[in-house]
Each structure stands twice: as C-alpha cells, then as structure tokens.
Amino acid sequence: MGQPGVELGRLAVLTAGYAVFQTANNTAVMAEVPPDRRGVVSGALGLARNLGLVTGASAMGAVFALAAAAGDVATASPAAVAAATRITFAVAAALVLLALAVAAGGRSRSGAARTTDLTPPRDPAGDGTAARPGTGAQRPGS
C-alpha cells in the first residue's frame, strides 16, 4: 500500500472525476426526456447506476478469485495475488475501452438524427404557447 497522502489524493481525483461525469451524463439524459416522464427516467437512472455498481463489484471479485487460482484467496501466495490484480485491472480496462467504443458509436448515430441547434421551437401564433406544454400546443407523439 502506498503513502496515505498519495492514496487520499488519488481517491479525491477519482471521486471528482466520477462526480463530473455523473452530472454531465444525467443532465444529457434528462434533457431529452419530456417533463411528464422525468420521474420514471430518474428512477431508471438510479436503478441502472446501483445495478451497475453491484454487478461490477461482484464480477470483478469473481475475475480476481478465478485469476488467483486458489481455493481460498486469503491463503493465496503474494505472486498469485499480484497476478490476479493485474488480470483484474486488464479486464476492467478492456471493459472501459468497450464502453467507450459503444458510447462513441451511439453518439455518432444519434448525432446524425438530432439537431444541435439550441433555439426554442418556432411559435407561429406569437403568443408563447408553442414552448409551454399544456397550453394547447401539440407535443410530438400526442
């Protein structure tokens, strides 16, 4: 184990990076959701996040246990633990690269179908009703 200050610094950087990612990711997802569906989508985001955390921790624990090749990880040799740690981090890195590729592929496909123009919708009546749900304006799909 490293020095406590170094480990604490690494943990702080990791936590800040995770927080910045989560904020941007949740904002991007929720921006595409109609207001009447935001509660359901928010709940689904929380469920997906928690399932991912639990499943990921379990899967990486299983990878480590298999890579250690010992009946009991607590009695594994230091060399086996080091090898298992390297393999587990290699699997995690491969999964990160796969996730990045999937995200990049999804972004390029959805970017072609969606406009990046952030101007509000046109208001043919000129009274502001096109931008306000529930004031007689038709929503897409209704």
Rounded to an integer, the average pLDDT of 110-129 is: 58
DSSP 24-86: HHHHHHHHTS-GGGHHHHHHHHHHHHHHHHHHHHHHHHHHHHHHHT-SSGGG--HHHHHHHHH
Taking the C-alpha atoms of residue 34 and residue 28, their distance in angstroms, rounded to an integer, is: 13
pLDDT class for 60, splitting at 50, 70, 90?
Answer: very high
Query: Do 43 and 29 touch, CB atoms closer than 8 A?
Result: no
pTM higher than the cut 0.85? no
Task: Provide the mean pLDDT of the chain.
Answer: 82
Q: Show the tokens assigned to 17.
A: 């990076």
Q: Look at residue 106 and tell me whether its pLDDT is greater than 90.
A: no
Q: Which of 86, 30, 38, 45 is nearest to 63 (CA)?
A: 86
Rounded to an integer, the average pLDDT of 94-118 is: 76
Report the b/e string of 72-104 with b at 16+ CB within 10 A.
eeeebeeeebeebeeebeeeeeeeeeeeeeeee
